[in-house]
C-alpha cells in the first residue's frame, strides 16, 4: 500500500484564516469553495509526498497531461552560466508546474521560482519556490527575496506578466511584462531564455477576468477559477517551445529595462 502523508494536505479553512486574519468568512461559502477548487482531488495527490522536480513531473502524470517540448537543443550557454527562463503564462497552473518539471529535468534540479504566496500551501513546491505577496507586510520583503534568488547559483523560471494571460484584442495573451527580470538578469549576468507555452483556459475564465476589469474590482476573482481550470485540463496536450538564450550583454542602454522586457515578450510569441 502506498505510503501517505496527511500532513501535506491543504486545509482551506487554515489558508483563509492566515490570508484574511480577523475576517469572518461564512462556513457555507468555504464548503462550496472546497468543492469548487477540488480540494479532495488535490489532496489525493499532495499526500503522496512528492516534492521538488518530482512533484511537478508526477503531477503531470496524475493529471494525465502530455507536454510536447521543442527547441531544447537551442538552450546552450557557456559552462557554469546561469539562466532565467522567461515564459508567457496562459494557464496559471499546469504551465508553471510542467515548465518547472521540464527545466528541472533537463538543466538540473537547482531551480527557483517566485510564486503567489497562496501556492506555498503546496508543500511539495517548497524546495524551489519562494512565495511572495504584493500586498501587506510581506510586500516589504519582496525586493530582498528577489535579490536572493537572482544572486543564487540556481536557474530561474519566471512569468513576467505576474498574472496569467487574458483575452486582449481578441487574442489570448499576457499583460505587458514587468521589467524586473531584465534588470536583475542583466545585473547578475544571467542568460535569458524565452519560452512559449501554448495552451489556454476556458472561455468562462476570460469572461470573468474581463468582467472584473470592467467593474474595476480590486480582488482578482478570476484567480479562484484556476484550480478548476487545472482540473479541466486533465488529459490535455500542451506544447513548450524554447528559444535561443539571450546574452545579458544584449540588454544595453539602447532600450529601457521595460522596453527590453516587451522585446523579449515579442520574441516569446514569435516562437
| Mean pLDDT confidence for 109-127 | 74
Confidence of residue 92 (pLDDT cuts 50, 70, 90): confident
CB-based contact 208:225 (threshold 8 Å): yes
Average pLDDT rounded to a whole number, residues 249-257: 95
Domain ranges of the chain: 1-49, 64-270
**In 3D, which of 174, 205, 201 has the Cα closest to residue 86?**
174
Q: What is the overall mean pLDDT for the chain?
A: 87
* Confidence class for position 132, pLDDT limits 50, 70, 90: low
Contact 133, 117 (CB under 8 A): yes
pLDDT digits (tens, 9 = 90+) for 134-158: 444 455 566 777 888 899 899 999 9
Nearest by Cα to 227 from 38, 13, 100: 38
**pLDDT tens digits, one per residue of 16-30:** 887 778 888 888 888
Task: Give CA–CA dist 26/78, Å, rounded.
Answer: 56
Residue 148 phi/psi, 5° resolution? -60, -45
Instruction: Kindly list the distances between the CA atom of residue 191 and the CA atoms of 13, 73, 146, 152, 228, in Å, as whole numbers in the listed order.
Output: 42, 15, 17, 14, 35
The residue-averaged pLDDT of 247-264 equals 96
Q: Is the pLDDT of residue 10 over 60?
A: yes
Residue pLDDT, tens place only, 48-83: 989 888 999 999 999 999 999 999 999 999 998 999
- Asked whether the predicted pLDDT for residue 197 surpasses 60, the reply is yes
Confidence class for position 38, pLDDT limits 50, 70, 90: very high
* Confidence category of residue 109, pLDDT binned at 50, 70, 90: confident
Name every residue whose Cβ is closer than 8 Å to that of residue 34 and which is 6 or more positions away in sequence.
12, 40
- More confidently predicted of 115 and 103: 103
Residue whose C-alpha is closest to residue 266's, from 199, 173, 185: 173
pLDDT at 212: 84
Query: Do 50 and 239 meet the contact criterion of CB atoms below 8 Å apart?
Result: no
pLDDT at 2: 67
State residue 135's pLDDT score: 47
Using DSSP's 3-state secondary structure scheme, residue 160 falls into coil
CATH class of domain segment(s) 64-270:
alpha beta
What is the spatial order of strands in the sheet that 66-70 belongs to?
66-70, 237-242, 191-198, 83-87, 155-158, 111-116, 129-132
- pLDDT tens-digit readout, 198-252: 999 999 988 888 888 888 777 777 888 888 999 999 999 999 999 999 999 999 9
% of the chain beyond a pLDDT of 70: 92
Three-state DSSP at 196 gives: strand
Quickly list DSSP for 118-145.
Answer: GGGG-GGGTTTEEEE-SSSGGGGGHHHH
Measure CA 141 to chain center.
Answer: 20
Amino acid at each position: 500500500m502506498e505510503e501517505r502523508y496527511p500532513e501535506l494536505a491543504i486545509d482551506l479553512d487554515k489558508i483563509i484564516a492566515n490570508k484574511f486574519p480577523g475576517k469572518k468568512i461564512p462556513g457555507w461559502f468555504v464548503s462550496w469553495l472546497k468543492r469548487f477548487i477540488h480540494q479532495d482531488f488535490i489532496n489525493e495527490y499532495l499526500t503522496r509526498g512528492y516534492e521538488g522536480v518530482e512533484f511537478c513531473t508526477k503531477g503531470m502524470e496524475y493529471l494525465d497531461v502530455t507536454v510536447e517540448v521543442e527547441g531544447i537543443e537551442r538552450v546552450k550557454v557557456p559552462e557554469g552560466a546561469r539562466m532565467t527562463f522567461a515564459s508567457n503564462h496562459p494557464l496559471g497552473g499546469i504551465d508553471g508546474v510542467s515548465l518547472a518539471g521540464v527545466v528541472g529535468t533537463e538543466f538540473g534540479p537547482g531551480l527557483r521560482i517566485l510564486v503567489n504566496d497562496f501556492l506555498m500551501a503546496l508543500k511539495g513546491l517548497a524546495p524551489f519556490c519562494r512565495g511572495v505577496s504584493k500586498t501587506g507586510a510581506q510586500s516589504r520583503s519582496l525586493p530582498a527575496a528577489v535579490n536572493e534568488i537572482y544572486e543564487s547559483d540556481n536557474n530561474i523560471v519566471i512569468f513576467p506578466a505576474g498574472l496569467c494571460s487574458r483575452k486582449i484584442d481578441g487574442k489570448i495573451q499576457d499583460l505587458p511584462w514587468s521589467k524586473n527580470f531584465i534588470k536583475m538578469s542583466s545585473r547578475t549576468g544571467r542568460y535569458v531564455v524565452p519560452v512559449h507555452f501554448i495552451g489556454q483556459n476556458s472561455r468562462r475564465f476570460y469572461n470573468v477576468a474581463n468582467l472584473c476589469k470592467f467593474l474595476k474590482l480590486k480582488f482578482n476573482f478570476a484567480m479562484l477559477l484556476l484550480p478548476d481550470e487545472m482540473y479541466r485540463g486533465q488529459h490535455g496536450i500542451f506544447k513548450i517551445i524554447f528559444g535561443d538564450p539571450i546574452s545579458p550583454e544584449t540588454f544595453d542602454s539602447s532600450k529601457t529595462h521595460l522596453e527590453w522586457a516587451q522585446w523579449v515578450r515579442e520574441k516569446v510569441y514569435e516562437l
